[in-house]
Structure 1
Amino acid sequence: MITPEERRLLEQLAVDEITFAIPAQSFAISCAISAEEALPVVTEFALRIAYVCGNLAPTQIQDFFGFSKKETDAVIESLLGERLIQWSEDHLELTSYALARFQDSSDNLPRFFKIQDWSAEVVFDLISFSPALRPNRLKRVRSQVELATRNLDKQSRTLQFAEQSFQQNFRQICAKEKAEIYKISAVDPGERFSIPLPCVFHLDLNGQVGVRRAIDDESFGSRLEISEAITDALANHDRSNNESLRDFIGTFDDELLGRYVSDDSFDLRRYVQDVHLTKVCGYDDGRITPVLGALHLRRNSALLLERIGAELIPADPPPQGSDGDDAAKEAHGEKAAPEVKHWDALWWAPQSVFWARSRSARDLVQKLDRLLEPQPNGPSPQAGGVRVVVPGDRRLSRERFSVYRDQFPRLLGADISLMNGNLELLLVPELLVCAMFHFHLAHQAVAIPFGFMSSHPDHLRAVSALVSGRVRAKPDAISAAREEGGLEVVEDLQALIDRLSTSAVVATPTKDGRPRLTVKKSE
C-alpha cells in the first residue's frame, strides 16, 4: 500500500504519461454449467429419510409430511426427474448419484448440482488472453501506442485461446458461487477494439538515474505479457543526443541550468533534487518558474492554465467609459459591448515518437482553446487557439499526421528541427512561454523534459526570434495535416510567424560542435 508521502513524491518525479492500446475482442459464449444449490426442505428431508432407512414407500412420505396423495405424487415425480431416487420394485431408494452426495459430505448434508444454461459476452485482451471486466472500448486511436503480442500463435487462433482462458478463469467471469462448466456449446467471435491503458513514467533517483513506469490498473498492471508488450513498444526507437543543451542554456541565458553542467555532463540528479524536490534553488525572477515533466501531466497542465489565466487579467483595467465611443453610448443610455480579445498559441513539439501520446494532451489543448478563445456571442472567424506543429522529415509527414490527427484540431508539420529536435515550445505571444529541453538517458526510450515557464520579455523575444528565424529561412517547410482548408491553415500560421518576427530581437547565434552531454553520476 503506497503512503500519501510516497504518492506525492511519485507525482513530483513524474516525467511523462503514455496511453497504450491493448488489442481486445469480445466473444459470445454459451455453455451449460453445474451450479450448487440448496434443495427445498421437503426434498432434503425425503432424501434423508431414504438415506437413513435405505428405502421407503410412498405412504411413508405421505404420512411423515401429512401430504395428500396428489402432493405426495408431485414430490416423488420431482425426485425421480432430478435423478435423486429410483424405484426398486414397490419401494423408493437413492440413486447412486444421490448416495454419493451423502457419502462425499463430511456432515451428512448432501450437496447437489443443478445443470442450467449460461451465456454472456466475455472480453479478452489479445495479448495475455485474460478476461477484461467492463473495459473502456475504443476504436483504433492512432495517438495511442499500440501493443502487440510476442506469441504469434495467439493472433491466428483467437477462438481456441479464448475458450481455454474462459475455462481457466470461469470463476472470475461467472458471478455464481460454486459453479462449474458442464459443457461449452458455442464460442462466437465479436468485434475487435482497443482498451486504453495509461502508463505514467517516473524518474528513479535510487542508484543510477533511470525511468520507472507505473500502471494504476488492477486488471493489467500485474500481467507479465502486458509488461513485455510495453517494453517491446518502447524499444528500437532512435534516441537523440544531448549536445544542444548548451544551446538551450545559452539561448535563454539560463544560469540555473548552467550550474549543473560541468565537465561536459549534466547532473540531472542534483538538478531535480535541488530545484524540484527540496526547492533550495530556483530562479531569482518571480516571472520564471521551473518545470519538470511533460506539459500535459496533471500538475503541469494545472500550473500552465492557472498561469495563463492570471496573465490574461489586465493589471490596471481601464475605467469604464474612458473611451470616447463608450462614453457616447453611455450618454445615450446604451451599454458598450465588452471587447473580447482572442489569443493565439503555438505548441512546437519535439522530435519524439512518444510525445503527447495521451488523451491528457488533447484535454490540455481543449482547455487552452477555451481559455484563449472567449466567445460570449458565438464563434468568431477571428478566433484564436492552439496551433500544434509537429516537426520531422517530410517523407514521414503522412504517418506523423495520422498519429496526431485525432489529438489536435489545428495540426501542422514542419521539416524544421529546433535544437536537434530536443526543444519543445508552448508560446502565447506577448504573454507566456514554456520552453522545455528533452534530455535523453542512455538505454531509456522516454526522454526527461525540463525547463521553465516564463512571462519575461527577454524569453518571449528569444523564442519569437528563434521560431520566426527558422521558419522564414525555410518557408516551404510548413505543411497542413488536412487537405481541406490546408492552405488557409498554413497561411494562418505564417501570419502568426510574421507577428513573432516583428516583435523579436535578433537572437545571438549558437556555436556548432558542442560536446556530447551525459548524466553525471553522483559520488
Structure 2
Amino acid sequence: MSAAERNEGRLLIDAIDFQVPCRRFTIKANVTRDHQMPVVDEFVLRLLRVVQRIDSRRLAGYFGFTAREMETVLLELVERGLIESDDEDLYLSPKGQDLFKGLTDGELPRLASVESWTEGVWFDLISRNIMTPERFRPVSNLLAIREQLGKRQIPEKFAREAFEQNFHDYARRVRHHPDADRLAIYSVSEVEAGIYGYQPMPAQCTLDLDAKLESSLRLPFAEADPARFRLLSVAATDAWAMLAGPEQSASGAEDYERLTGDSRPARLTRAEAGAAEWAEAFAMTEKDGEPLLFGASYLDHNIARLCDVMTSVADAQQREAASSIIWLRPGGTAWGRTFKVGEGLQRLRDVLRARGASEVQTSAIVPRAVAGNQRKNLRRLFENGCLTPTSFYPSDLEIILIPGVAAMVVLHLDAGRHGVAVGTITTRDRPLRLMERRLTEALSKTSDRLWSAENA
C-alpha cells in the first residue's frame, strides 16, 4: 500500500464531491498592479531625489546619453507624471516623491498600473464565501448540500465588501495569479447579482487505523481557514453523515472468496475484528501476484492498478480487444458520490480503445437494495443500466468486469461510518466466465431495465 493511500495512521477509503448551492455575481473592478520600473528610469528618479534639481544637459552627461536619448527617457517619465520641469531644471513631481515614501534602504521604487477586471464570482449560500468556479457536467451521483432557510438572498453590498476584503485570497486561489501580493483593489465600479447554481467541493473520507477504526471527512477546501468555512464544513459533514453503506452479509464474503480465491478479507468480517486484524491485512497486500486493494474501487490508485492489469493481459493475448465494461455497484447511498466514478470509467475506456476497441459499451447494474430515487444516479455515466435479478450477488459485493480480460472484485466491510471496500483483481479464466455469464444475463432482462442508450 503506497504512502498516498496510507498517511499518518489514516487510510484513504473514499472520495466525495459535494454540490454546493451558490449564486454568481458579476463584479467589475479596477485593479492596480505593482511592477519594477526600468533600471534607467529608476536611477534618474533616485538622482533627482538626491540632487532635487538638475538641468537636462548635466543629467545626460551623468548617464553618458546623447541629448536625443535623454529626451526619450525624460519624455516617458513626464507622461507618467513622475517628473516636472521649469525653464531651467528637472525635479520630482509629488507623484514621483510618493514612490519613495515608506521604503527602507535597499528597497526599489515600484510603479503601479491599472487593469480592468470583469469577474464572475460565485458565493456559496451556506457560509457566504467565495468559491473556486469549475466547469463541470452536472451529474446526479454527487452529494448535494441543501440550501438553508434565509440564506438564498445575498445583498450586492455584501458581495462588494466580501470581494474587497478577500481580494488577495481570490486572486491567489481563484484567479491563480502569480503576483497576487502585488495586486490591490483601486475601485469596484459595478456589482450585479446573477444566476443561482452549484459548484463542486471535493472531499476525502479516511479511516483512522487506531483501535477505534473510525472514519472521518477531510475537506481540503476549508483547511486554509477553518473558522471562515465552519458553516460550510458543518453542512457538508451533516450531509455525509446521513449516508449509509451497504449491509454486510455472510454470502458476500463467501461469493468474494469463491470468485477470487482470496481469503484475506474473511478475517475482517468477524465481529471481533479490530485494529490488529486490519494491520495484519495491510501486511498481506500481495498474494500470488494479486494485490489486496483498499478503499473505493474508483479511487485513482485502484483504477490505475486495474488499467495496468488490463494492459498486461492485452499485451499477452493475441485476440480482438474487449469492447465492454460492466460495473455492478454495491448497495447503500454512500457509494459513488464523486466525479471519480466517471473519471475511472473513462480511464478504462481509454485502455480498451488504445488496444483496438473502436466502441466501448458501458453498463451499470444496480442492486435492488438501492432506494428508488438513487437507482438512476449513474445514468449520465453509463450507456445502459439495469436492476439486479431477485436472486443475485449480495449488495455488499462489487464487480468491475472487463469480459475476457480482468475483473476487480470488491467486498464492502462493516467498518467506519459507511463501510470500507477491500478487494483484488483477478484474471483467472473460470471466475471471469462465471461473472460474465451472470452479469450479461442480468443486463438482458428488459423488465429490469433502468435506462439504455437506445432510449437516451
Bucket of the pairwise TM-score, normalised by the shorter protein:
0.5 to 0.7
Structure 1 residue 198: deviation in Å?
4.0
Tell me which amino acid in the other structure corresponds to 2:364. V
Structure 1 residue 344: deviation in Å?
4.6
- Return 190-199 or 180-189, whichever deviates more: 190-199
What residue in structure 2 maps to residue 510 of structure 1?
A: none
Structure 1 residue 143: deviation in Å?
3.6
What residue in structure 1 maps to residue 308 of structure 2?
A: 306
TM normalised by structure 1 equals 0.60
Tell me which amino acid in the other structure corresponds to 1:28. I
Contact 1:348–1:426 under 8 Å retained in 2 = yes
Tell me which amino acid in the other structure corresponds to 2:423. G
Tell me which amino acid in the other structure corresponds to 1:160. K
The aligned runs of 1:326-405 (5 Å cut-off) are 340=320, 342=322, 344-369=324-349, 379=358, 385-392=361-368, 396=372, 400-401=375-376, 403-405=377-379
Cα separation, 2, equivalents of 1:391 and 1:434: 17
Structure 2: where are the runs of 5+ without partners? 62-66, 172-176
Query: Quick one: which of 142, 145, 149 aligns to 2:143?
Result: 145
What residue in structure 1 maps to residue 383 of structure 2?
A: 409
Change in CA separation of 1:214 and 1:485 when aligned onto 2, cut-off 3 Å: same
Structure 1 residue 350: deviation in Å?
0.9
Query: Quick one: which of 260, 264, 269 aligns to 2:275?
Result: 269
Deviation per CA, 1:265-287: give whole Å up to 9, x if none. Answer: 05153443223x2228x76xx48
Cα separation, 2, equivalents of 1:261 and 1:176: 52
Cα separation, 1, equivalents of 2:353 and 2:340: 20
Cα separation, 1, equivalents of 2:81 and 2:324: 77
Secondary structure of 1:28's aligned partner = strand
Query: Quick one: which of 274, 291, 299 aligns to 1:297?
Result: 299
- The reply on whether 1:438 has 2:412 as its aligned counterpart is yes
Cα separation, 2, equivalents of 1:231 and 1:177: 33
Tell me which amino acid in the other structure corresponds to 1:295. S
Structure 1 residue 157: deviation in Å?
1.1
Structure 1: where are the runs of 5+ without partners? 51-55, 88-92, 318-338, 490-523
Deviation per CA, 1:453-497: give whole Å up to 9, x if none. Answer: 33456745775787689889xx56512324x624xx9xxxxxxxx
Tell me which amino acid in the other structure corresponds to 1:156. Q
Larger Rg: 1
Secondary structure of 1:421's aligned partner = coil
Cα separation, 2, equivalents of 1:287 and 1:96: 77
Secondary structure of 2:293's aligned partner = strand
Structure 1 residue 231: deviation in Å?
1.2
Contact 1:437–1:449 under 8 Å retained in 2 = yes
What residue in structure 2 maps to residue 521 of structure 1?
A: none
Structure 1 residue 136: deviation in Å?
4.1
The aligned runs of 1:21-420 (5 Å cut-off) are 21-22=19-20, 25=24, 27-31=26-30, 117-122=114-119, 124-127=121-124, 129-130=129-130, 132=132, 136-147=134-145, 152-153=150-151, 155-157=152-154, 159-172=156-169, 173=171, 175=179, 180-189=184-193, 196-214=200-218, 221-224=223-226, 225=229, 226-242=232-248, 244=249, 246-251=250-255, 252=257, 255-262=263-270, 265=271, 267=273, 269-275=275-281, 277-279=282-284, 286=288, 290-311=292-313, 340=320, 342=322, 344-369=324-349, 379=358, 385-392=361-368, 396=372, 400-401=375-376, 403-414=377-388
TM normalised by structure 2 equals 0.68
What residue in structure 2 maps to residue 485 of structure 1?
A: 454
Cα separation, 2, equivalents of 1:34 and 1:289: 53
Cα separation, 1, equivalents of 2:193 and 2:185: 19
Cα separation, 2, equivalents of 1:28 and 1:433: 51
What residue in structure 2 maps to residue 447 of structure 1?
A: 419
What residue in structure 1 maps to residue 64 of structure 2?
A: none
Contact 1:389–1:412 under 8 Å retained in 2 = yes
Cα separation, 2, equivalents of 1:355 and 1:120: 41
Cα separation, 2, equivalents of 1:41 and 1:309: 64
- Return 201-210 or 232-241, whichever deviates more: 232-241
Contact 2:25–2:159 under 8 Å retained in 1 = no
Change in CA separation of 1:42 and 1:479 when aligned onto 2, cut-off 3 Å: same
What residue in structure 1 maps to residue 399 of structure 2?
A: 425
Change in CA separation of 1:256 and 1:178 when aligned onto 2, cut-off 3 Å: closer
Contact 1:343–1:372 under 8 Å retained in 2 = yes
Structure 1 residue 304: deviation in Å?
2.2
Deviation per CA, 1:310-340: give whole Å up to 9, x if none. Answer: 455678x7xxxxxxxxxxxxxxxxxxxxx63
Secondary structure of 1:356's aligned partner = coil
Secondary structure of 2:6's aligned partner = helix
Tell me which amino acid in the other structure corresponds to 2:205. F
What residue in structure 1 maps to residue 174 of structure 2?
A: none
